[in-house]
Amino acid sequence: MTTNVVQLRDVASVREGVSDAEWQARVDLAAAYRLAHEYRWADSIYNHISMRVPDEPDFFLIKAHELLYNEVSASNLVKVDMRNDDVDEAMHVNRPGFTLHGGLLSVRKDVNCFYHTHIPACIAVANQKEGLLPVSQTAMTFTDEIGYHDYEGITENLEERERMAANLGDRKVLLMRNHGVVTSGKTVRDAFILMRDIADACELQLRLQASGAEFVLPSAAVLKSYTEQRKTHNAGRGSADWPGFLRRLDQIDPSYRD
């Protein structure tokens, strides 16, 4: 049975009421939810991905709590005022999602999208004392870009926002011990690619550790050189893959655009 959130959202009326920039943000964010479903990162209706509303920096978009990830579309995303701490069920936004995303977006003005999942491999690596190791080229992408946040329970306490923001700092990723992972980006695409990469990096690290073999880590000089290489390697083509991901979704189910 389709939820009342889906039933109450008329595509035409929602489209008419928002700017072209916001509608594109809605399409991209809905795509991120559908991709999470395809990559099996979704935890039923739980976890969340957020996007700052273009030209309205104090508002963000997030899925209605009761929707599955493959039910999310551009028109049924919920617009939330991150300055309003009085979140209730009538808003269709769960409090942990508001706490985490509203808190981080309000502090990180340079970020427009936060992507949160409970990918098991990421939780396992987050719980390791040394965290993510540079055992693969993908893992090296995250050199000096990961903050770690100790578990404090379900993220319902608004006071935790300050500590999460402090532990993230100006980095791109927050590994939440015993909990999950958060990636960030100026665009939905950037946050999605970081999530895909850190999931792969964590999975590879666990496989290598499970083999029992002794492994070799690159030197600090090599890590520094690789970090510089990445800056020019991605120049001019950093988002060229996003249209491809959208085409993939269009082949599966284009209703995320509605």
pLDDT tens digits, the chain, 258 residues: what are they?
344 454 446 676 787 778 999 999 999 999 999 999 999 999 999 999 999 999 999 999 999 999 999 999 999 999 999 998 877 666 788 888 999 999 999 999 999 999 999 999 999 999 999 999 999 999 999 999 999 999 999 998 899 999 999 999 999 999 999 999 999 999 999 999 999 999 999 999 999 999 999 989 999 999 999 988 887 777 666 678 999 999 999 999 999 999
Residue type, 136: S
Residue type, 161: R
pLDDT of residue 92: 87
pLDDT of residue 91: 76
145: CB partners within 8 A, 6+ apart: 171, 172, 173
CATH class of the structural domain 4-257: alpha beta
Report the predicted TM-score, pTM, of the whole model to 2 decimal places.
0.91
- Say if residues 187 and 112 touch (Cβ distance below 8 Å): yes
Q: For residues 156 and 98, what is the distance between their CA atoms, to the nearest angstrom? A: 8
> Helices 242-252 and 188-211 sit at what angle, rounded to 10 degrees?
90
pLDDT of residue 2: 45
pLDDT of residue 7: 47
CA atoms within 13 A on the CB side of 184: 23
- Say if residues 115 and 32 touch (Cβ distance below 8 Å): yes
- Asked whether the CA dihedral 227, 232, 234, 235 is positive or negative, the reply is positive
For the record, the structure tokens of 29 come out as 């964010």
- Asked whether the CA dihedral 194, 199, 202, 207 is positive or negative, the reply is negative
Pairing of strands 56-62, 113-117: unpaired
**What three-state secondary structure class fits 112?**
coil
**Region for residue 174 given its phi and psi (left: phi exceeds 0; alpha: psi -120 to 50; beta: otherwise):** beta
pLDDT of residue 145: 96
Q: For residues 42 and 82, what is the distance between their CA atoms, to the nearest angstrom? A: 24
For the record, the structure tokens of 138 come out as 């993908």
